[in-house]
Each structure stands twice: as C-alpha cells, then as structure tokens.
C-alpha cells in the first residue's frame, strides 16, 4: 500500500469546499455509492474510520473469515471489467482475497483519490438555512456537504457482553470484528471462544489447529451445515464471464439478491423420498442454498421447519463421536434458519479432539472473569486468550456513534426512539438530504446486490434534486409510516428466533423492533421505482 492509499486524500482540501455528497463508510455499500455518485458527476468523497477499505471485510480478519455466499455472486455487477479482470480463487473466498477485491475495485475505477481513510465521523448537523450537512470528524475538522450518504454498515459495531470482572483479565481479549492486523499466535495457548454464530463457527477449527486447548462457551446451539468450499476453477470463471449479465439479472430477480434457484414446492406436498432427495441436495450444495433453495415453507410453516431441523440434527449427531456432546450441540431453542444459519468447515468434527471442550452457558453460566480466566457456576478456567464472537449491534450500533441532528436539532436516535421509521430505508422525515445505502428497512439478503440498487436510487435522487434546481428533499411522515408498516407486515409470515439480530434480539433490553426488510429485492425495486417515476411521491422538495 502506498502512502496515498494508506492515508487517503488530504483532509485540508475539504476546507471551504461544499461537496454534493459525503459517503460515510468504506465497505461494500459505501464503495459502490462512491462509484455511482462519481460516475453521475457529483462531487463526492468517501470517509472511512479504518486504515483500509472493505468495511466488514477489513475488520473481520479473524482466522477462517470467509464468504458463505458464492464469491462471484457476492461482488459488484456494474461493469463487465469486474468479471474480465478479477478471478476468484475459491467458491467461498477468504477475507484477505475479499479485501483485495474491494481495493481492486477502488483502484481499477480510479476512486482512490476520493477516499479519506482513518477518518471517524462523530457528528452531522443539518443546517436548514443553507440546506447542507455540517459533518464533524473525530479530529475536530468539519466538512460541508449537500447530501449525507450513510453507508455505515449492517454489522459494523461489535457487541461484547458485560461480564463481572472483565477488566481484571490479564490475558488477550479480542472481538472477532476487531481483529488485530498482525494476527494472534495461538500456538501453545489456552484459548476461549464465546459465541457460536457464523463468526464463532468459522473460528473454532482454525483456533483449535494451533491452540494447546480450546474451550467454546456456547449459550445456544446453532444449526451449522457444511460450507463445502472448493477452488473456483478457470473453467468456472470462464463460464461466469460468459454469463455475467444473466447472473446479474438472476440476482436482481431473486428475493434475497442471491443466484440460487428458489424451490416453489412445499415440504409435505412431495413424497418422503423426494423430500429427502431435496434435503440432501441443498445440504450438500454448500453455502446458503440450504435456505434459499429449500422448500418454500421451510421458514414459514413450523411443521416444515421441524422436519428439516430433524434432518440436520441427524447430520450433526453423525459428526460427533460422543452422543451426549452431540445432544448439547444440537439447537433446542429454535428451528433451522430462525437465526441466520452459520456455515462451517469441520465445525462439529473439531469437538472430537481431546483438547477442545464445550462449556454450556445455559447449564453453567459465567459468574465472573478473573485475572487468569473465567469462573462459571460449576468450573474455573484459565486462559491466555479470550475471543468474543458475540456479534454486533446491527445497523443502529454504528449510527449511534454519530450525533446526527436533523430539523430543529432533533437527534436521529430520538426520532427513532420507538423504532426506525423510514421510506424504503432510504430517507427519514425530519432529516432532509440524508440517505442510506444498505441501511435499516432496506436490506435482507445478499448485501452487494441490495447496495447497488440502493446507491443507484440515491444517486438518481441527488441528480433529480440538482437538475430541478432544488436544494432540499425530505421524506414525508406519511410515506415513512406507510413503508414502515409494510416492513412490519413482511416479517409476519417469517419464523424468527427471538434473539435474532434482525430485530435487535441479541442486544439485552432491546425493544425487538424490526430492522430488516423481508419483502425481497423485487418488491423493494418496484416500490422504489414507483416513488421515483411519480416524481418522488412521498418526498417534498424545496
Ligand atoms: O454473531 P451472532 P456473529 N453470553 O450474533 C453469543 C454475518 N457473518 O458475529 O445464540 C454468551 O450470529 C450468541 O449466543 P445466542 C452473518 O450475517 C457472516 O457470529 O444468542 N454468549 C451467539 O452464539 C451473521 O449472522 C459470515 O445464545 C453470547 C453469538 O454470541 C452475523 O454476521 C461470517 C452472549 C453471536 O452470534 C453475525 O455473526 C461471520 C452472552 N451475553 C459473520 N451474547 C460469513 O460467513 C451473545 N452471545 C459470510
């Protein structure tokens, strides 16, 4: 990385300048927003708190971090250059390669000079006299922008539970989403992992490989199925290149922005033999097909859900030598897919090793942390390293870190004290000239696919405002009420675990308000087109 790449543009250059748009966040959604806004001729800058680009794929550099959707379906589709000049090495690429991909995009499309790294936004105040946002950075500098584009991420603010005595622990404590760039050497170390969601599941076999001992603190079991990673061959790449446009269209036509063929049949309308054949197919195909190509009612009908959960439970039992241990690892408080299902590589098999043990927090909760480890109601453990794979405060965690003030100095979090209210997840009443990419109420699936359509819509809106000589656009309360009610309607048929992060269920004391849009990419696009085509009905211009 050269000097300019490491430090981005000179912050001093912002002085006196009024941008058309400031993009906050250099992850998947922010990078595309930067591309699109720049392509449409807007003066734009992207600021990112990290010292590199990639967002979630910059911070989550823990061993084992990788895609669980097919690499070539996760990236961008705005230019064929992306398929011609980028070759994925694996079906489910690892974090270093993914980080390289996002840097490749930024360099290939000559966006680097519009990126300012190591810049943390701490405040954003709407100046209603001039219809601009005044945005403050942690170092005290300010920048003025007509539009504020928040691409602060879905899972970007780590959540670490508060245990008594945590400050006393003298070993290394780290969250999976804030992994040190220099890595952690586990050789000969006694290691603990808290959390068995997607991050914990990816970490367990990697840490076990080198550590002297590994203790996994599990609160709930999760339904882990095989990732089945394999090389992405040059022949497959050629096929993908040829079908680039079709793959793009397929993503746009899929409810979750994936490329998987949906299965329209219902679980019990086929014979038992056919049901098992389908189950084997989705189980063995790897990645998230297990959910998105499974019978259509798997996440809607409790009996169908139970049927598939039973199938997966048998697979789990078959992977573990000790039947009692298998019993403890099999989820007993939610059915398959009610939490976002993790994909693993030898996850359950790792527990067959003598130096790996499961500590169930339901059977024996933590009493306190000590200087040397952890005391539970039944045991005392000594550790050198404690890893928290305990998830994130989805969407709102990152927004809470910025003091966002709209009309009449109202804080965004006050406006959302009864849960987020948005139009399309793109705009909020009382907060003019503010838009999001892959924000609350706008996404549920393959994030890059959603990011592209959101950023296109946002950039078109900014173009519209400029072309018509307006300086301000604001969502009406009525439009936000209507969309927010629709968001709540779409979640009703879905079987969701209470503790799921989609509704803040993982944050203690949370209100359980729905954050994710379940209506699908197609419905979102239809609604968004109707708004745009009607001259932005539900939005007021000045
Ligand atoms: O976090 P999670 P994650 N005491 O919230 C446990 C994406 N992702 O970082 O199940 C003890 O899923 C909690 O326990 P329980 C993906 O979208 C993708 O793993 O609530 N334990 C759970 O086991 C994913 O959904 C990939 O009982 C506590 C774990 O911590 C999202 O990121 C890879 C606790 C948290 O699981 C988040 O995944 C990684 C407490 N007080 C992540 N609080 C890919 O493969 C929480 N836990 C692409």
| 371 in a structural domain | no
Q: Which of 113-127, 206-220, 253-267 has the lowest mean pLDDT?
A: 253-267
Token pair of 230 as six digits: 């394999």
CA distance 249 to 535: 26
Closest among 162, 78, 180 to 385, alpha carbons compared: 180
* CA-based max dimension of the chain: 70
Give the model's pLDDT for residue 67.
97
| 33 in a structural domain | yes
- Average pLDDT on 178-185 reads 97
User: pLDDT tens-digit profile of 56-102?
Assistant: 999 999 999 999 999 999 999 999 999 999 999 999 999 999 999 99
- 237: three-class secondary structure by DSSP: helix
CA distance 283 to 375: 38
Give the model's pLDDT for residue 512.
79
- Average pLDDT on 160-184 reads 98
What is the CA(197)–ligand 1 centre distance, in A? 4
Give the model's pLDDT for residue 509.
86
Number of domains in the chain: 1
- The percent of residues in the chain predicted with pLDDT above 90, rounded, is 91
User: pLDDT tens-digit profile of 264-285?
Assistant: 999 999 999 999 999 999 999 9
Q: Which atom of ligand 1 has the smallest separation from the CA of 196?
A: 23
| 136 in a structural domain | yes
What is the residue with the minimal CA distance to atom 26 of ligand 1?
Answer: 198
DSSP string for 109-177: TT-GGGEE-S--EEEEEEETTTTEEEEEETTS-EEEEEEEEE---SS-SB-----TTGGG--SEEEEGG
User: pLDDT tens-digit profile of 286-323?
Assistant: 889 999 999 999 999 999 999 999 999 999 999 999 99
Token pair of 51 as six digits: 């010292």
| 77 in a structural domain | no
What is the CA(78)–ligand 1 centre distance, in A? 31
Give the model's pLDDT for residue 3.
31
What is the CA(314)–ligand 1 centre distance, in A? 23
- Average pLDDT on 352-363 reads 97
For 325, residues 6+ apart whose C-beta sits below 8 A from its C-beta are 351, 358
What is the CA(293)–ligand 1 centre distance, in A? 23
CA distance 73 to 53: 20
What is the CA(152)–ligand 1 centre distance, in A? 19
> Which band of pLDDT confidence, cut at 50, 70 and 90, is reported for residue 14?
very low
Give the model's pLDDT for residue 510.
84
Give the model's pLDDT for residue 474.
98
Contact 30, 151 (CB under 8 A): yes
| 500 in a structural domain | yes
Range of the domain at 146: 3-60+117-157+395-541
* pLDDT of 428 over the 90 cut: yes
What is the CA(486)–ligand 1 centre distance, in A? 27
Give the model's pLDDT for residue 445.
87
Contact 444, 516 (CB under 8 A): yes
Sign of CA dihedral 394, 483, 262, 269: positive
CATH number, domain containing residue 438: 3.50.50.60
Give the model's pLDDT for residue 444.
80
Q: Which of 57-71, 253-267, 495-509 has the lowest mean pLDDT?
A: 495-509
| 265 in a structural domain | no
Q: Which atom of ligand 1 has the smallest separation from the CA of 177?
A: 9
By most ligand atoms within 8 Å of CB, the mutation choice from 27, 61, 164, 199 for ligand 1 is 199
What is the CA(342)–ligand 1 centre distance, in A? 9
| 187 in a structural domain | no
What is the residue with the minimal CA distance to atom 17 of ligand 1?
Answer: 340
Give the model's pLDDT for residue 513.
86
What is the CA(508)–ligand 1 centre distance, in A? 14
By most ligand atoms within 8 Å of CB, the mutation choice from 99, 195, 387 for ligand 1 is 195
Pocket of ligand 1 (CB under 6 A): 67-68, 155, 161, 176, 194-200, 202, 219-220, 340, 343, 361, 389-392, 499, 501, 506
DSSP bridge partners of 172: 385
By most ligand atoms within 8 Å of CB, the mutation choice from 99, 391, 448 for ligand 1 is 391
Give the model's pLDDT for residue 10.
37
Give the model's pLDDT for residue 511.
80
| 46 in a structural domain | yes
- Average pLDDT on 410-435 reads 97
- 386: three-class secondary structure by DSSP: strand
By most ligand atoms within 8 Å of CB, the mutation choice from 67, 157, 198 for ligand 1 is 198
Give the model's pLDDT for residue 11.
38
Q: What's the mean pLDDT when you consider all of the chain?
A: 94
Give the model's pLDDT for residue 16.
75
* pLDDT of 29 over the 70 cut: yes
pTM: 0.95
Contact 126, 405 (CB under 8 A): yes
DSSP bridge partners of 213: 190
What is the CA(501)–ligand 1 centre distance, in A? 8
Give the model's pLDDT for residue 514.
87
For 235, residues 6+ apart whose C-beta sits below 8 A from its C-beta are none
> Which band of pLDDT confidence, cut at 50, 70 and 90, is reported for residue 443?
confident
């Amino acid at each position: 990385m050269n000097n300019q790449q490491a430090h981005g543009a000179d912050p001093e250059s912002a002085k006196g300048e009024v941008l058309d748009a400031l993009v906050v966040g250099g992850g998947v959604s922010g990078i595309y927003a930067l591309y699109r806004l720049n392509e449409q001729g807007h003066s734009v800058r992207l600021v990112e708190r990290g010292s590199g680009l990639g967002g979630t794929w910059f911070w989550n550099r823990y061993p084992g971090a990788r895609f669980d959707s097919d690499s070539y379906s996760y990236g961008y589709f705005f230019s064929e250059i992306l398929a011609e000049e980028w070759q994925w090495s694996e079906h489910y690429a690892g974090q270093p390669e993914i980080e390289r991909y996002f840097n490749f995009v930024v360099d290939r499309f000559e966006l680097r000079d519009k990126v300012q790294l190591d810049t943390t936004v701490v405040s954003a105040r709407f100046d209603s006299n001039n219809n601009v946002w005044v945005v403050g950075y942690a170092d005290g500098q300010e920048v003025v922008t007509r539009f504020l584009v928040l691409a602060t991420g879905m899972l970007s603010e780590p959540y670490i539970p508060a245990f008594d005595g945590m400050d006393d622990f003298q070993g290394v404590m780290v969250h999976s989403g804030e992994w040190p760039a220099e890595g952690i050497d586990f050789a000969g170390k006694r290691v603990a992992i808290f959390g068995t969601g997607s991050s914990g599941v990816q970490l367990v076999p990697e840490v076990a490989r080198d550590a002297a001992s590994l203790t996994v603190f599990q609160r709930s079991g999760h339904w882990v199925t095989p990732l089945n990673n394999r090389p992405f061959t040059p022949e497959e790449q050629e096929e993908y290149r040829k079908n680039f446009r079709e793959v793009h269209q397929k993503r746009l036509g899929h409810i979750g922005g994936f490329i998987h063929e949906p299965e329209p049949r219902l679980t019990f309308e086929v014979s038992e033999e056919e049901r098992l054949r389908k189950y084997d197919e989705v189980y063995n195909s790897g990645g998230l097909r297990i959910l998105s190509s499974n019978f259509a009612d798997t996440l809607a009908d409790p009996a169908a859900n139970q049927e598939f959960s039973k199938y997966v439970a048998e697979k789990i039992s078959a992977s573990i030598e000790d039947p009692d241990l298998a019993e403890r690892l099999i989820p007993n408080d939610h059915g398959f897919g009610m939490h976002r299902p993790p994909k693993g590589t030898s996850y359950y098999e790792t527990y067959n090793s003598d130096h790996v043990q499961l500590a169930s927090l339901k059977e024996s909760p933590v009493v306190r942390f000590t200087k040397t480890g952890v005391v539970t109601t039944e045991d005392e453990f000594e550790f050198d390293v404690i890893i928290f794979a305990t998830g994130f405060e989805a969407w709102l965690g990152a927004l809470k870190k910025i003091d966002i003030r709209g009309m009449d100095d109202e804080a965004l979090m006050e406006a959302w004290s009864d849960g987020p209210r948005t139009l399309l997840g793109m705009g909020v009443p009382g907060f003019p000239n503010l838009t999001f990419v892959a924000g609350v109420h706008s996404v549920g699936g393959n994030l890059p696919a959603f990011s592209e359509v959101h950023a296109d819509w946002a950039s078109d809106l900014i173009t519209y405002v400029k072309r018509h000589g307006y300086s301000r656009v604001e969502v009406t309360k009525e439009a936000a009420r209507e969309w927010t009610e629709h968001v709540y309607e779409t979640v009703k048929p879905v079987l969701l675990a209470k503790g799921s992060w989609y509704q803040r269920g993982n944050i203690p004391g949370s209100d359980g308000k729905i954050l994710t849009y379940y209506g699908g990419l197609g419905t979102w696009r239809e609604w968004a087109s109707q708004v745009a085509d009607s001259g932005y009905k539900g939005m007021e211009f000045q």
